[in-house]
Structure 1
Amino acid sequence: MLFSPIKPMIVSIGKEAFDDNEFIFEPKWDGWRILLHKQGTRLEAYTRNGNIVTSKFPELKEAVSSIKADTAILDCEGVCIRDGRSVFDDFSYRGRISDSAKIKAALRTHPATFVAFDVLLTSSEHLKEPLMSRKSRLNEIINSTDIITPTAFIEGRGKDLSSWSIEHDMEGIVAKRKDSKYVLGVETKDWLKIKNFKTIDTMILGYRTEPQFGLVLGLHFKTVRYKPVGIVEFGFRVDDKRAFLEIAKQIQTRIDKKTYWIEPKLCCRIQYLERTDQHQLRTTIFKGFLFDKDPENCYWTY
């Protein structure tokens, strides 16, 4: 298992925050799942897909001395913290770059932290031990620094942590059963991610009427403008659709299959639950049109 690709345990999707004394609750960090393998002075970082990315994170050389166990496999989230919260795009940037000069510069502009939440192995495997035993081991073997630190958790009070995560603009929380074992590559209801809805203002690039009504959403990014980022189909009232269609007919530019493209002159506010690495928004809900908003101001909030 050491220094070979392994599939981490997979978190299931939960619906809403809850309280339960049989569970602990952790903040959900917004970054990349990273497995750190250590033996002696050697430390390697693997992604959840088994790719070795150690060379992209030179700060890991300093983390070796912070892991007191001679041998260890730690399950972590690699994150970049900005204004007190983890920013996915910052860590994704670190994961993309390979030029040595850019990597060196990113140590200052996009410093990485590895938030450890489980230990799979030290001098022996710990997969079959209950979670709380693994948590105790984890805290014993890590000296917390800016580069590597155990994640915080609370027992029983998921609703309180959820409220805190919303207040601090975090991605959500993770609920974990205290006696859960670590099962490689398996999705389990013993671990549940409960994500927070986020709100964003988008421009409207087009619309569909089949198989049901939906708006094509767009945003500006640093390197590309008017990028389609998803469809919203839920949350509309009859009056919303009627008012939009009257305006859309006047600014329609072309029809492509089932999509009617329009001039990007209208904006709307939506809620979304998650987004992909390519910034496609998922589980979207329409909250209202923004007739006074300038589409030039609809940009991705990094």
Structure 2
Amino acid sequence: MDLPVMPPVKPMLAKPAKKLPATDLAFEPKWDGYRCIVFRDGDEVVLGSRNEKPLNRYFPEMIAPLQASLPDRCVLDGELFVAIDGRLDFDALGQRIHPAESRVTMLAEKTPAEFVAFDLLALDDTSYVDRPFRDRRAALESIADGFAPPIHLAPATRDHTLAMEWFERFEGAGLDGLIVKQLDDPYRFDVRSQLKLKHARTADCVVAGYRMHKSGDGVGSLILGLYADDGQLWHVGVAASFTTKLRRQLLDEVAPLEMDDVAGHPWASWMDTEANANGSMPGAPNRWSGAGGRDHSWRPLRPDRVVEVGYTWATAGRFRGTTRLVRWRPDREPASCSTVQLAEPEPVPITEVLAAR
């Protein structure tokens, strides 16, 4: 492979926007998938991840469509995604990262991925990295006529009003906001010079367990639950990313709730590793763990206390993205914390997003 921009590459990133700059801006839907830099040089195609590791073995079904749709020599920045029933499904996408080749092959047929391109880094012998985004976007659009599903061009607009309509409506397709790009910006590797607008919501959740921080110093994450209509406490995610001081404070807060006998805990059955081999519950083994993997053990707590958490969005009754602790809610009864809080937006087919202009 001999391209003006060679793998591996750490892609340009985005940071939360407190306010938008008074400059010329482009708005794009924010995809919920795996960031992917595609390098093509003739028959050779490399799928590079955000952390510079190759993705080819996990998405073998993408190679032929990329060869059919892209120019012979180019480097594109974009996102791999999986759509189920016309909606982005991050859980299904996550299942594609599996060590067993047989399972990868099976899932490539059962839940094939798609690729949406939103930037161009190189074309033929020319690097576009130092060119402004307006020129990179124009070059990307010039080659997009050759795209065919499952290869797509990301919608983009300079119309702020239309972008805000996308922000509200496209959440129903599984997207989680907008990416905002300054038209004059060059491509900045591994720099958060783009902006992102994300939905902001809160929910009151039952604290039903915790994990120690990897350092052993305080709480690493609080395990959260909400009650369903049938009275069962559902695991909906975790709150994490605490400061050292807060980790220690949280350990003092939860210590009185620790259970010596977990038989009475709503999630006692999840201790059965055979029953939870898919890794969907706290403490269960999963494809990310192993001899050298992370410690997924958790400590059950009496589900007596409630916290308010901030989150971006939820799908299938689970928080997506980062969930942050806002405050303890001593005024709330755990039984009053229901899944009704996680109301999802009106469904929108992903085809509508891809067709937006």
Deviation at 1:285, TM superposition (A): 4.1
The separation in 2 between residues aligned to 1:11 and 1:232, in whole angstroms, is: 19
**Does the 8 A contact of 2:204 with 2:337 survive in 1?**
no
1:5 aligns with 2:8: yes
Query: 1:29-74: per-residue Cα shift (whole Å, max 9, x none)?
Result: 0111110000112111011221111121122222234434210110
Distance 1:162 1:298 in 2: 20
Q: Is the 8 A contact 1:230 1:280 kept in 2?
A: no
Structure 2 match to 1:114: 115
TM-score by length of 1: 0.71
SS state at 1:29 partner = coil
Answering whether residue 65 of structure 2 is matched by residue 63 of structure 1, we say yes
Is 1:103 aligned to residue 142 of structure 2? no
Cα distance in 1 for partners of 2:73, 2:241 equals 48
SS of structure 1 residue aligned to 2:57: helix
Q: Is the contact made by 2:129 and 2:187 (CA closer than 8 Å) also made in structure 1?
A: yes
Cα gap change, 1:290/1:160 in structure 2, threshold over 3 Å: closer, same or farther?
farther
1:241 matched residue in structure 2:
none
Q: Indicate the RMSD between aligned Cα atoms, in angstroms.
A: 4.0
1:194 to partner: Cα distance:
1.3
Q: Distance in 1 between matches of 2:110 and 2:326?
A: 34
Q: Distance in 2 between matches of 1:251 and 1:5?
A: 47
Larger mean Cα displacement after TM superposition, 109-118 or 260-269: 260-269
**Per-residue Cα deviation, 1:228-264 (whole angstroms, up to 9, x for no partner):** 712699xxxxxxxxxxx9xx9997647xxxxx97423
- Is contact 1:229–1:280 with CA below 8 Å preserved after alignment? no
Which one of 120, 137, 140 corresponds to residue 139 of structure 2? 137
Which residue of structure 2 lines up, in the alignment, with residue 178 of structure 1?
Answer: 183
Change (3 A) 1:201 1:150: farther
CA 252–43 in structure 1, closer or farther in 2 if over 3 Å, else same: closer
Are the counterparts in 2 of residues 43 and 61 from structure 1 also a CA contact under 8 Å? yes
AA aligned opposite 2:187: Y
Amino acid at match of 2:176: E
Name the counterpart of 1:127. Answer: 129
Aligned pair 1:229/2:238, yes or no?
Answer: yes
Summarize the Cα distance change of 1:180–1:280 in structure 2 as closer, same or farther, 3 Å threshold.
closer
Q: State whether residues 216 and 232 of structure 1, in contact with CA within 8 Å, keep that contact through their aligned partners in structure 2.
A: no
Judge conservation of contact 2:208–2:224 (CA < 8 Å) in 1: yes
Separation (CA, whole Å) in 1 of partners of 2:38 and 2:202: 34
Taking a change above 3 Å as real, the CA distance of residues 262 and 4 of structure 1, as seen in their structure-2 partners, is closer
Task: Kindly provide the amino acid, as one letter, of the partner of residue 38 in structure 2.
Answer: L
Which of 173, 184, 199 pairs up with 1:196?
199
Work out whether residues 21 and 155 of structure 1, in 8 Å CA contact, stay in contact via their aligned partners in 2.
Answer: no
1:218 maps onto 2:224 in alignment = yes
Distance 1:9 1:217 in 2: 32
Q: Quick one: which amino acid aligns to residue 271 of structure 1? A: G
| 1:281 Cα offset (Å) | 4.1
Query: CA offsets per residue over residues 209-239 of structure 1, 9 Å max, x none?
Result: xxxxxx944249xxxx869712699xxxxxx
Q: Describe the superposition over 1:85-124 as per-residue Cα deviations: whole angstroms up to 9, x where unpaired.
A: 3232222221x21322211221233221111100100121
| Gap change, CA 1:284 and 1:154, over 3 Å in 2 | farther
1:86 is matched with which residue: 78, 85, 88? Answer: 88
106-115 or 197-206, which deviates more: 197-206
Deviation at 1:152, TM superposition (A): 0.5
Shift, 1:167, TM fit: 4.9
Seen in structure 2, the aligned counterparts of structure 1 residues 109 and 68 have a Cα distance that, compared at 3 Å, is: closer
Between Structure 1 and Structure 2, how many residues are aligned? 265
The alignment status of 1:149 with 2:172, answered yes or no, reads no
Residue 53 of structure 2 aligns to a residue in which SS?
Answer: coil
Q: Which letter does structure 1 place at the counterpart of 2:18?
A: K
More strand by share: 1
Distance (Å, rounded) in 2 between the aligned partners of 1:28 and 1:118: 13
Instruction: Name the CA shift for 1:98/1:175 in 2 (closer, same or farther; >3 Å).
Output: same
Secondary structure (helix, strand or coil) at the match of 2:323 reads: strand
Output the CA distance in 1 between the equivalents of 2:148 and 2:197.
Answer: 27
Q: Are the structure 2 counterparts of residues 216 and 5 from structure 1 closer, same or farther at C-alpha, using a change threshold of 3 Å?
A: closer
Q: Give deviations 1:14-38, integer Å, cap 9, x for gaps.
A: 136x696711110100111110000
For structure 1, the residue ranges without an aligned partner over 5 or more in a row are: 208-214, 234-244, 255-259
TM-score by length of 2: 0.61
Per-residue CA shift, 1:101-149, capped at 9, x if unaligned?
2112212332211111001001210112221221121122233333211
- In structure 1, distance between residues paired with 2:328 and 2:168: 21
2:284 is matched with none
CA contact (8 A) 2:208 2:225 kept: no
- Aligned-partner Cα distance in 1 for 2:134–2:321: 36
